[in-house]
Structure 1
């Protein structure tokens, strides 16, 4: 006979008591040290997974110990050089004005000055990195949007903002050296042949998309390139440092006209010599500054060069070739590889100037 306590449900011998289902005291718990070891092992696996994931992301810090990829994507020789340039820019970069803000608040400058450019999803240093990837490797905006996990419109705004910002900041650097600095760094060959050389100049062109307007097309068409182009003048010191970069002009402009307009003549001092190619018939411009022109001699009525003229031509060509090497450095920014679209025309001058000045951070030309 079973005795049932009041208030309790009858329980058969086959059923497990509720207390036994909640806590099985017959199982021996895992020792604490084994639990810690298992937790540490799991944490190690998670850290490795996090590291592998971060290595797949596209941001500057990923390449901090990879100078080859730093040079490939940005044109800087290593991470330290790039970082030092950014650190110099950072105080003003934190308060730069976004391009869309400039358009939106152009009528209210007070509001504009307090409206700094922030993109919380992408740090400033990676925005700088993105701009360098765009100009040095010519990566398209859509490609950059995927790499940096942003919308294409955000990428476009960032690139325009940085193009204008760097144009102002790098353009404020005084790259035109004094006569004493030129003399103290004059290479031996220049000292022997042309010790008064202040600058070596040449013009170069970048192809631009043909505009629909016939009037505009005639202005930008270059007979030399047989294409519509923008044209700029580059100047370097005898030791190979970029010392002058002009704004871009329409391709139809002559070498003499661009020299007259760009302002380089105003920087010369009495006694300076300017080395150039035969196309620069600018002696009359230089005479106003009491400067002189060094160009290869022209073939006169005799029909052939004298031995002295041949030697002079070869020597000038050998020394002048350095400005062509400087231009080639600029053209290694692959954004200039193809035909520049008209959609980029509003910022191409800023990009051209920035890329030109950035070549000075690549080290000696020779």
Structure 2
């Protein structure tokens, strides 16, 4: 085993690097990494010679270490031991004497092989006459550069120009196609701005222009909108923080309004709205609640109750026999999810619908607009009690008449006249005059049913209301009722001029 050299075993992650040596003499940049012909010598152990080396090197506050070296350029040729084929060694007591400060010049590097190799002299350039040179230039350039001087140059240029125009046109078409694809992928109001039919389906507004007119009415108030996410910190937040919180929304305000109207009109779930508008379901829920409260306050601040003079000025001819009619009222019910509590079931169960419902009363002026809407109550409430609790009685005067259905036994609650279909008494046949009056009132009172149908065209109220939105269903229903005045035209085409 002694005759073989055993390799040292090392781990895989251990690296063996070879460090380069540098000369410690000032202004000397020699390194063993780039100078294979230079040797580097450590400081001698003899203290007197070592001290002489330190003096000759001329470095301030210098103490040589084990790695300090002086290159062979600073020694005379006679300072080295003559050992051909072996490492270069210094003679004992040799001292460096060649430095830049004693006018020592580093020898020039050896010339390269290319520079050392001899070459024949290049022949002198031929001398030609100027005229002959021009002729030769025309003769020699024609075959190589035919495209510069032939008549086909203009044709090629025209072809290139036509190709460039065609490519530019294709680029424009592709850009328009990309814009259309991006617009289709984004479910917002801008996508349906060119289709009034889609606007009617998603918002119930008659056209895009009607929707934008309504938006211009409420847009100034959107800057003061309080979102449901900021209600908890409303007391402690400053005005700047509230403004910043209102601006940090994922959708534009007009797209949030479009989402809210879409929720009322189509009745789709909040999860589906989140997928359509590329937002989270909880974000869609907060937007719906925020806009329900916002529109409830903004639209509720506008007085929709009309004065008798305004009613008389717009009275249709069909109501000439009942010219004193101020309002036509009727009740409507919304089916809701059955609550788990038996007490709540007894409050919201309607025997008329045989289902749990929310009940409200709606009032309409004779010429069609909605002038009154009550809050929602449990379906077990009677028409008389709902009329009493709705808040319409303080709005009535003795000279105002109210037109109602048979179920409204409110004779002693209305301060003025009451127009109501007649009842049969003691199973006797109804008088001819009562029959005519009943038919006449029924023809006029049917318009409030048409108004209620307009409100229920919002599919949210045409399905079973989930209990999860019972906290905001009153605001949603009230806003939908008031919006019917902005979304639609008159109930009867002949009433347009009224």
Change in Cα spacing, 1:346 to 1:6, as seen in structure 2 (3 Å) is farther
Q: Which of the numbers 426, 433, 445 marks the counterpart of 1:301?
A: 426
1:201–1:274: 8 Å Cα contact kept in structure 2? Answer: yes
Kindly state the Cα deviation for residue 309 of structure 1 after the two structures are TM-superposed. 0.8
* Larger deviation, residues 275-284 vs 92-101: 92-101
* Larger deviation, residues 206-215 vs 36-45: 36-45
- Does residue 139 (structure 1) correspond to residue 268 (structure 2)? The answer is yes
Kindly state the Cα deviation for residue 238 of structure 1 after the two structures are TM-superposed. 0.5
1:235–1:243: 8 Å Cα contact kept in structure 2? Answer: yes
Structural mapping, 1:154-303, within 5 Å? 154-191=283-320, 193-287=321-415, 291-301=416-426, 303=428
CA distance in 2, matches of 1:52, 1:120: 25
Structure 2: gaps spanning 5 or more residues: 1-112, 118-144, 148-155, 493-498
CA distance in 2, matches of 1:95, 1:272: 39
TM-score computed with the length of structure 1 as normaliser: 0.87
1:5 paired residue number: 114
1:94–1:124: 8 Å Cα contact kept in structure 2? Answer: no
1:14 paired residue number: none
Kindly state the Cα deviation for residue 353 of structure 1 after the two structures are TM-superposed. 0.4
Q: Deviations over 1:248-306 (max 9, x none)?
A: 0111111111111111111112211000001111111113xxx1211001102361111
TM-score computed with the length of structure 2 as normaliser: 0.65
Q: Deviations over 1:112-168 (max 9, x none)?
A: 855652344311111100111110111221221121111112111111111111111
1:328 paired residue number: 453
Q: After TM superposition, which residue ranges in structure 1, 4 or more long, deviate above 4 angstroms?
A: 30-36, 109-116
Q: Which of the numbers 437, 444, 449 marks the counterpart of 1:319?
A: 444
2:470 paired residue number: 345
3-state DSSP of counterpart to 1:244: strand
> Which one has a bigger Cα radius of gyration?
2
CA distance in 2, matches of 1:202, 1:119: 43
CA distance in 1, matches of 2:266, 2:473: 16
3-state DSSP of counterpart to 2:272: helix
CA distance in 2, matches of 1:7, 1:161: 89
Kindly state the Cα deviation for residue 241 of structure 1 after the two structures are TM-superposed. 0.8
1:97–1:115: 8 Å Cα contact kept in structure 2? Answer: no
Kindly state the Cα deviation for residue 211 of structure 1 after the two structures are TM-superposed. 0.9
Structure 1: gaps spanning 5 or more residues: 9-25
Change in Cα spacing, 1:175 to 1:83, as seen in structure 2 (3 Å) is same
* Larger deviation, residues 260-269 vs 71-80: 260-269
Q: Which has the higher helix share?
A: 1
Kindly state the Cα deviation for residue 46 of structure 1 after the two structures are TM-superposed. 3.0
Kindly state the Cα deviation for residue 234 of structure 1 after the two structures are TM-superposed. 0.2
CA distance in 2, matches of 1:256, 1:6: 119
3-state DSSP of counterpart to 1:283: coil
Q: Per chain length, whose mean CA-contact separation is higher, i.e. which structure has more relative contact order (CA < 8 Å, sep 6+)?
A: 1
3-state DSSP of counterpart to 1:94: helix
- Does residue 79 (structure 1) correspond to residue 219 (structure 2)? The answer is no
RMSD: 2.4
2:489 paired residue number: 363
1:62 paired residue number: 191
Kindly state the Cα deviation for residue 228 of structure 1 after the two structures are TM-superposed. 1.0
Structural mapping, 1:18-37, within 5 Å? 33=161, 36-37=164-165
1:94–1:116: 8 Å Cα contact kept in structure 2? Answer: no
Kindly state the Cα deviation for residue 51 of structure 1 after the two structures are TM-superposed. 2.8
* Paired residues, number: 341
CA distance in 2, matches of 1:203, 1:82: 28
CA distance in 2, matches of 1:143, 1:7: 84
Change in Cα spacing, 1:7 to 1:246, as seen in structure 2 (3 Å) is farther
3-state DSSP of counterpart to 2:114: coil
1:199–1:273: 8 Å Cα contact kept in structure 2? Answer: yes
Kindly state the Cα deviation for residue 109 of structure 1 after the two structures are TM-superposed. 6.9
